[in-house]
Amino acid sequence: MKADDPRIHWIAEPKLGLAGSMYLPLVVGGLVTTAKHLLSPKVTVSYPDQEPEIANRSIYRGVHRLNRDGQGRVKCVACFLCATACPAHCIDIVGAESPWPDREKYPESFTIDELRCIYCGMCEEACPVDAIELTSLYNLTGRSREEMVFDKEKLLSVYDATHKQEPMRSAAHKGAP
């Protein structure tokens, strides 16, 4: 493309007034802006001393949990929809014949590799019974890779730890299985 190409849209430089060509407004303006920010409240969260404020816990995508139904059983029906939806292939389910009369299958084992997970929330969207949910726990740490592979018991314990402050999203229709 050459300089005289008709597709180039040339913009004229704005005309400077007397004050502008004396550089004063810009020089003073720049300093005023800096000085204002120097004294303004800081946005940094001093993390270990101060917990960040999570605006809406119900849409935050942190550590997963497996929800329990009204009788304290795992809600999951081992349909594998979450494992199929998962783009990182971090969910591993072993399904088995359900010991309860209200459903056919239940997960014998349910593991999520929290290190592989990209916290996209697709599993939560895919789940037909709202069994898997992402909580607002953001500071997940571990000392080994094995420790970061969460099994069913651990995922249920996350539910036990968080269901008070983060009620199940399907709590409105609790009657459903």
Partner 1 sequence: MSLLLVPLVKIAIILFGVMTAAAYFVLLERRVAAWVQDRRGPNRVGIPGTNIRLFGLGQPLADGLKMILKEEYTPAHVDRGLYLLAPLVMMSAALAVFAVIPCGSTLPPIPALGLQEPIAMLVAPSFDVGMIYVFALSSIAVYGVILGGWASNSKYSFLGGLRSSAQLIAYELPLGLGLLGVVLATGSLRLDAIVAEQANTGVWFALSQPLGMLIFMISAFAEAARLPFDLPECEQELVGGYHTEYAGMKLVVFLTAEFIHMITASFLISILFLGGWHFWGLTGNAETPITWTLAAIRVGVLFAKVFAVIFFFMMVRWSWPRFRYDQLLALAWKVLLPLGLLNLVVLAILIEVQHPQVAGGWLDERFGAGRAVVSWLPGWLLLVLAFMLVAWLRPIMTDNRPRTDVDLLDSPLQE
Q: Under the rule (CB under 8 A), what is the footprint of partner 1?
A: 3-4, 10, 13, 16, 18, 21-24, 26-27, 30-31, 33-35, 37-38, 40-44, 46
Task: For the CB of residue 6, give the shortest distance to partner 1 in the complex, in Å.
Answer: 11
Task: For the CB of residue 38, give the shortest distance to partner 1 in the complex, in Å.
Answer: 5
Task: For the CB of residue 44, give the shortest distance to partner 1 in the complex, in Å.
Answer: 5
Looking at the Cβ atoms of 35 and 176, the one nearer to partner 1 is 35
Instruction: Assess contact for 156 and 74: CB atoms under 8 A.
Output: yes
Looking at the Cβ atoms of 35 and 115, the one nearer to partner 1 is 35
Looking at the Cβ atoms of 3 and 172, the one nearer to partner 1 is 3
Looking at the Cβ atoms of 38 and 172, the one nearer to partner 1 is 38
Task: For the CB of residue 8, give the shortest distance to partner 1 in the complex, in Å.
Answer: 8
Q: What share of the chain is helix, strand, coil (3-state, %, to 5)?
A: 25, 15, 60
DSSP per-residue codes, 9-67: ---PPPPP-HHHHTTHHHHHHHHHHHHHHHHSPP----TTTSPPPPS-TTT---SEEE-
Tokens for 67, please give them.
Answer: 């929800």
Task: Give bridge partners of residue 112 from the DSSP assignment.
Answer: 91, 150
